[in-house]
Amino acid sequence: MTSDLQQAARANTAAVPAISVDGLHKHFGTHEVLKGIDFQAHDGEVVSILGSSGSGKSTFLRCLNLLEMPSAGRLRILGEEVGMKKVGSSLVIADQRQVDRLRTQVAMVFQNFCLWHHMTVLENLMEAPVHVQRRVRGEVRDEALAMLERVGLQDRAGFYPAQLSGGQQQRAAIARALVMRPRALLFDEPTSALDPELVGEVLKVMRDLASEGRTMLVVTHEMGFARDVSSRIVFLEQGTIAATGSPRQLFGGGVSERFDQFVSRFNG
C-alpha cells in the first residue's frame, strides 16, 4: 500500500537517515546500560536488534523515541536534532512539543501491546491521529478500518482489547502505530508475551510490512525473523554494538565469536 507520494518522499530524503544517534549513553544510577552507541537507520531498512537479556537492547530502542532519556549523546529523527538540555547531571526534554511531534513519526509497538483498555479497537486506532495529529475524523476512521483489514481484524473494530487474544491485541497495536503514518516503526520484543501458537500471526504481519519497504527496528528473540526478514543485524552486548552486518554475513558465522555463541544457544 506504499503510495507514490511516500515513495517520492523517500527518494527525496534518501540521504537523510530516518533515525540517527551519536554517542548514545544511558546509565541507571551507577549502572551503565549503554556505553556509547553510534547508529543510523535509513528509510526502508529492517534492522533486527539482538542480544542477551541485560545487553541494553530494549533501553536502546526506548531511547530512540525518548521513552527513556539518554544520559548523553545526540539523537536525530528525520534529520531533525531532538532538543535535550542538561538539568543537574541528567538530560531532559527541551521542547515537549517537538518530541510529541517526532514520536508520532517513530511509532512504538510494545511487548505487552499496551492498548487502551477502555476504548474499542477502532477507538484505539483513531486516538492519536485525531487528537494528536488533528487529522479529519472521517478520513482517519476510513484509514483505521483499512488498516484493521490489513492486519486481519476487520471484524474486531468494535471489540474491546480484553475480548481479543494476545496475537489479535498485538496486531491491533501494530495497526494503531501504522495509522499515525510513521516514518519508522519500533518493535520492542513484539512476540515475547505471546503464546507460541500466536507468534506466527504477528510475525506474518511484520513480514508483510517489511516487504512493503517499511523502516523497522525490531528488538527480538525470533532468530528466524532476524535471519530471513531483516536487512541488517545489530548485536548488542554489555551496552555496545558488538557486531553488525547483513544477516547473511553474521549468521554465516565467523564474524563475531560472541554472536556465534549467542546464536548457538538458540539453536541448541
Partner 1 sequence: MDWLFIQDIFRQMLVGIPLTLELTVVSLLAGFVLAGLVQALVSSRHGIIRRPAAAYVELFRGTPLLLQIFLIYYGLGQIDLLRQSFLWTLLREPYWCAVLALTLNTSAYTAEIIRGAVQAVPPGEIEAARSCGMSGLLLRRRIVWPIAIRHGLPVYSSEVIQMVKATSLASIITLNEITGITYRLASDTYRVIEIFTVAGFIYLSLNFVVSLVFAVVERFLNGHLADRRT
User: H/E element holding 186?
Assistant: strand 184-188
For cell 549468521, the residue is 251
Nearer to partner 1, 187 or 259 (CB): 187
Shortest approach of partner 1 to residue 114 CB, angstroms?
Answer: 4
Give Cα separations from 68 to 28, 54, 56, 139 (angstroms): 10, 15, 12, 33
Give Cα separations from 235 to 77, 232, 261 (angstroms): 22, 10, 12
Residues that bind partner 1 (CB under 8 A): 65, 67, 96, 99-101, 103-104, 107-108, 110, 112, 114-120, 127-128, 131-133, 158-163, 173, 176, 180
By DSSP bridging, strand 184-188 and strand 19-28 are unpaired
User: What is the distance, to the nearest Å, from the Cα of residue 146 to the centroid of all Cα atoms in its chain?
Assistant: 21
Shortest approach of partner 1 to residue 137 CB, angstroms?
Answer: 14
Residue 46 sits at the vertex; the CA angle it makes with 40 and 203, to the nearest 5 degrees, is: 145
State the angle between helix axes of 137-150 and 166-179 in degrees (0 to 180), rounded to the nearest 10.
Answer: 140
Nearer to partner 1, 25 or 101 (CB): 101
Nearer to partner 1, 159 or 251 (CB): 159
Nearer to partner 1, 179 or 226 (CB): 179
Shortest approach of partner 1 to residue 14 CB, angstroms?
Answer: 25
Shortest approach of partner 1 to residue 36 CB, angstroms?
Answer: 25
Shortest approach of partner 1 to residue 110 CB, angstroms?
Answer: 6
Shortest approach of partner 1 to residue 176 CB, angstroms?
Answer: 8
Nearer to partner 1, 65 or 215 (CB): 65
Backbone angles phi and psi of 72, in degrees to 5: -160, 160
For cell 557486531, the residue is 243
Which residues, 6+ apart, have CB-to-CB distance to 50 below 8 Å? 57, 220, 221, 223, 226, 233, 234, 235, 236, 259, 262
User: H/E element holding 225?
Assistant: helix 223-228
Nearer to partner 1, 180 or 194 (CB): 180
Which cell numbers in the block locate residue 108? 512504538
